[in-house]
Structure 1
Amino acid sequence: MAQTLPTILLVDDEEHSLSAMRMALEDDFDCLTAKGADEARAFMEEHDVQVVFCDQRMPGKTGVEFLSEVRATWPDTVRIIITGYTETTDMIDAINEAGIYQFLTKPWHPDQLMMAAKNAVDLFRLTRDHDRMSLEMRYLSKSVEVKLEAQRKALREGMGFESVLRSANSPMNAVIEQARQFATFDVPVILSGEAGTGKRTLARAMHYASLRSDKPFFEFDCTAVDDDILEMELFGARRGANTGLPTNKAGLFQKADRGTLYLSGIEALSPRLQLLLLRAARDGAFRPLGGHEMMRSNVRLLIGTHRDLRLEVSEGRFNPETYYSLARTTLCVPPLRERREDIGILAQTYLFEAAEEHGKPVKGLSDDALQFLSDYDWPGNMRELENEVVRMLIFSQDALLGPELISRHILQATPEKRGVSETAVDQVLIGTGTLKDRVEQIEMRILRETLTRLKWNKSRAANELGLSRVGLRAKIERYGLIEPARSGVRSQSDEEE
């Protein structure tokens, strides 16, 4: 495809001057010629003119007057004036009024004219490129800001309080309302609760609901970490002999500057590290390991603990000043056993997430399975629930996961006494009551677990337990065990009877 030649407009009232200029430039440019300002303006309106060569002395409008109009209407067009006179007044007027790029005096040389035309075309192209790039930069800047805001919104929604799974009537609703209020105040918050209750998720949600949401969020578990390593991770270290590091290491207080740092397990900190944390929390000051200079950082601290720090303080195991510097507000996260309404939502969510991760399609958990899961105490809270659901997925053969996949100790939990976990047998053994009553408690749980695990196939259950089918049926009736309804499907127990 042939390249389009740049368009140049030549304006002069003398025909021989127009012909001479055209002859000098037409090999490299698309030349338009006009004998006056009116004709030249008509060309400007019809063509994308890049450069105008205009004679100063013309009948009607002078070159400066015409080029002033060009400047007002087509400011990108490069304007060059040609004159046979060198009056100072004309030159000043041309510069001020018409924004003249260059003067050419008559008689001009063809090489001089060609050089002026090429330079003017280059200037036009550079000006257009600059304007385009400026426009693009303004658009991109706006576009980037829009994208950043969209990302921030997605983070707030995806990692904010909406990510805390719960039912409509969940006890977590009141906790989250408190957390929303705490999030907007730039003060330390202690999140207390048993291990696995979701304190980390709640801390992250508080960060993304705070004024620091566009700044970094870091988290670190302080448990089972040596003092030197912990100090290095939190406050950084300087290279040298006493650290053994080849380069400086930035700590979390430095990395999280102007952001949020979530620390869990601080009840395990040594007295020395408690004092270092006190200084960082109270004054924002810390000294890197192996360093001599003090550094400062503006970090919001969120603290996760599964112990009662007030009790730790009263018993002398935790520094009271450190505690009160961190405990501006305290948020108590309830255990899963107090969130019965949420267990179904959490279990189904964990199941679908695990199924997607492992590429195993499922439809969900059956109502019976959900009932068994809801009856259990979950001493390991959400971590234990997630582990159990993944285990069920691994052993599942059907798209709908039933209660037979649930671990035996969960099936043995007594629904009438919610919260009986793996220690239930021990509790019965050391509890009170007659021998007959205590044995029956254990027997009922074993029967219930075995029948559920074997999908209420009574023949298999009787065989495994060493009972006759008549004896098994009698025990089922005695303990009031009811087989889950299987609408529209004959149960295996019916087939085996």
Structure 2
Amino acid sequence: MSATRATILVVDDEPHSLTSMRMALEDEFDIRTAGDAETALRVLDEDWVQVIFCDQRMPGRTGVEFLTEVRERWPETVRIVITGYTDAGAMVAAINEAGIYQFITKPWHPDQLLMAARNATRLFQLSRENDRMALEMRVLTATAESRVEKRRRALREGLGFETILRAPNSPMNAVVQAARQFASFDVPVLLIGEPGTGKAALARAMHYGSLRSDRPFHSFSLSGLPDDLAMIELFGAKRGILPGGSNKIGLVQKAERGTLYLGGIDSASPALQVALLRLLIEGAFSPAGGQEIIGSNLRLIAGSDRDLRALVAEGRFRADLYYALSVTELELPPLRGRPGDIALHAQAVLMDMASRHGKPVHGFEAAALEFLENYDWPGNLRELSNEVTRMLIFGQGPLLGAELISRAILQAPPGDSGADRSAEAAMTGAGSLKDRIELVEMRILRETLARHRWNKSRAAAEMGLSRVGLRAKLDRYGILQPGRTTADEDEED
């Protein structure tokens, strides 16, 4: 049986940690262990390893340094870092240099370690499968729509929940776990969350995790659409209704035996609500301008930016439609409620946009990530994507710095989970005028220094201070450049 099991290499300089991880994983995987980087490299030379769990703090070489070499020599091996620290600089280095798949923080739970191992081996298998299908595609004709091509397209579009980026302790983990449970049950699902929280992406993941995964998935938003146009787009139209005199096939027919994600369901008109209720209860609909009844077999997943229960209570949404839609109801947290996910999403957007536009940028400086993680992101993932794209356009080096961030974000009050709530309290709370002014001054100093890439001479000139005067204020408030220590600052001066 061991021949069919994935092999995992665990690297840690503490023997009891190696023993604990072996015990957590050995029932399902073949485990190799190493107490240092050099021993681990010898194991990799001898065995075919699919996944590596590596401690970050080790004597000699750090985990990131070791995994950077692994990335160069064995790029297909999935790399996971275990760390007791949440240093932003180390995380940036891990993402940029070592291509880390996941961070696991200490103390870890055996179930958490086992789940990470299962997901990592599945990722390895998908990558190998993708490579195999790429080879097969070379011998197929350019026009043939084979099953291999469909599977390859599914991989490219995102095979389910592995595409939902999230940190080890993200609130999204509970949402994804619940979505996995309901994915294989052919029932309607209602997704609730602010605009831009990723409802359509979760609906797509549920489709690819369901028995309908080999059938079409279509996504459509009702937000801002006139009622007649929404009806035609969903249910189609008979000849004579539209200019040109041709029929129109609606998304309900296009998604036959597949899944239709309908966003903005809270903005559906009364007439559209009746039509959707009929679709759910009777499995039937009628095209615009037609009298015939057409049967439908699709799975409907609906998304709402607002609480539908409140709209039902106000008489603005049909109660029977709400209960038909919400066999299960999943609420996606806003981005400000999951700060640990911001760096992962920002990096993913950057890699995608840099590749698309052919620009050699591969990461963020620590100061930039600090500002991004402390911002509330009222526009959620869409706003973050726009900001990263704008930074990429103006960036001139391989790493994007804080000076590229929009000034509105640099000057914005920090979020609830940000590091500097005291400055916001100064504007609305109590306290002496002197104390409240000092708190605001701290924020101005940090924002100005970030824009000037921590060039103290330029920042001091903009604020009308001498360099000595600026240094005195930084010492007074304990403001340090991210990734530097007080000793570093003293040596520079």
Q: Tell me which interval the TM-score lies in, with the shorter structure as reference length.
A: 0.5 to 0.7
Distance 1:420 1:229 in 2: 47
What is the CA-CA distance between 1:427 and the residue it aligns to? 7.9
Match of 1:225 in 2: 225
Determine if contact 1:192/1:333 at 8 Å carries over to the other structure: yes
Match of 1:362 in 2: 361
Deviations along 1:231-259, one digit per CA (max 9) or x if unpaired, are: 1111111112x554511111111111111
Of 473, 476, 479, which aligns to 1:475?
Answer: 473
Aligned with 1:310: secondary structure?
A: helix
Structure 2 unaligned blocks of 5 or more: 1-139
Match of 1:444 in 2: 442
Distance 1:391 1:207 in 2: 32
What is the CA-CA distance between 1:341 and the residue it aligns to? 2.1
Read off the aligned partner of 2:180 and give its amino acid letter.
R
Match of 2:371 in 1: 372
Determine if contact 1:413/1:420 at 8 Å carries over to the other structure: no
1:88-237 equivalences under 5 Å are 148=147, 151-152=150-151, 155=154, 158-237=158-237
Match of 2:60 in 1: none
Distance 2:293 2:419 in 1: 53
User: Within the alignment, does 1:381 sit opposite 2:380 as a pair?
Assistant: yes
1:379-458 equivalences under 5 Å are 379-412=378-411, 418-419=417-418, 429=427, 431-458=429-456
User: Within the alignment, does 1:286 sit opposite 2:285 as a pair?
Assistant: yes
Match of 1:333 in 2: 332
1:47-62 equivalences under 5 Å are none
Deviations along 1:82-115, one digit per CA (max 9) or x if unpaired, are: xxxxxxxxxxxxxxxxxxxxxxxxxxxxxxxxxx
Aligned with 1:220: secondary structure?
A: strand
What is the CA-CA distance between 1:154 and the residue it aligns to? 6.2
Deviations along 1:295-325, one digit per CA (max 9) or x if unpaired, are: 1211110011111111111111111111111
Aligned with 1:307: secondary structure?
A: coil
Aligned with 2:474: secondary structure?
A: helix
Match of 1:464 in 2: 462
Determine if contact 1:215/1:258 at 8 Å carries over to the other structure: yes
What is the CA-CA distance between 1:150 and the residue it aligns to? 7.2
Distance 1:180 1:455 in 2: 44
Match of 1:28 in 2: none
Determine if contact 1:351/1:364 at 8 Å carries over to the other structure: yes
Aligned with 1:301: secondary structure?
A: strand
Distance 1:247 1:403 in 2: 54
Distance 1:153 1:483 in 2: 45
Distance 1:368 1:354 in 2: 21
Distance 1:156 1:271 in 2: 38
Determine if contact 2:234/2:252 at 8 Å carries over to the other structure: yes
Distance 1:374 1:425 in 2: 16
Aligned with 1:443: secondary structure?
A: helix
Q: Which is worse superposed, 392-401 or 310-319?
A: 392-401
Distance 2:426 2:281 in 1: 50
Match of 1:314 in 2: 313
What is the CA-CA distance between 1:343 and the residue it aligns to? 1.7
Distance 2:423 2:271 in 1: 44
Aligned with 1:293: secondary structure?
A: coil
Deviations along 1:356-380, one digit per CA (max 9) or x if unpaired, are: 1111102311223222222222221
Read off the aligned partner of 2:290 and give its amino acid letter.
G
User: Within the alignment, does 1:274 sit opposite 2:262 as a pair?
Assistant: no
Q: Which is worse superposed, 392-401 or 187-196?
A: 392-401
Task: Give the TM-score taking structure 1 as reference length.
Answer: 0.64
Determine if contact 2:376/2:414 at 8 Å carries over to the other structure: no
Distance 1:416 1:228 in 2: 41
Distance 1:437 1:425 in 2: 10
Distance 1:371 1:217 in 2: 37
Deviations along 1:407-446, one digit per CA (max 9) or x if unpaired, are: 233334566953599x999986555444334433332211
Determine if contact 2:422/2:439 at 8 Å carries over to the other structure: no
After superposition, the Cα gap between the structure-2 partners of 1:414 and 1:243, relative to the gap in structure 1 and judged at 3 Å, is closer
Determine if contact 1:412/1:448 at 8 Å carries over to the other structure: no
User: Within the alignment, does 1:344 sit opposite 2:352 as a pair?
Assistant: no
What is the CA-CA distance between 1:224 and the residue it aligns to? 0.8
Distance 1:208 1:389 in 2: 28
What is the CA-CA distance between 1:264 and the residue it aligns to? 0.4
Distance 1:234 1:369 in 2: 43
Distance 1:286 1:416 in 2: 46
Aligned with 1:445: secondary structure?
A: helix
What is the CA-CA distance between 1:326 and the residue it aligns to? 0.6
The structure that has the greater radius of gyration is 1
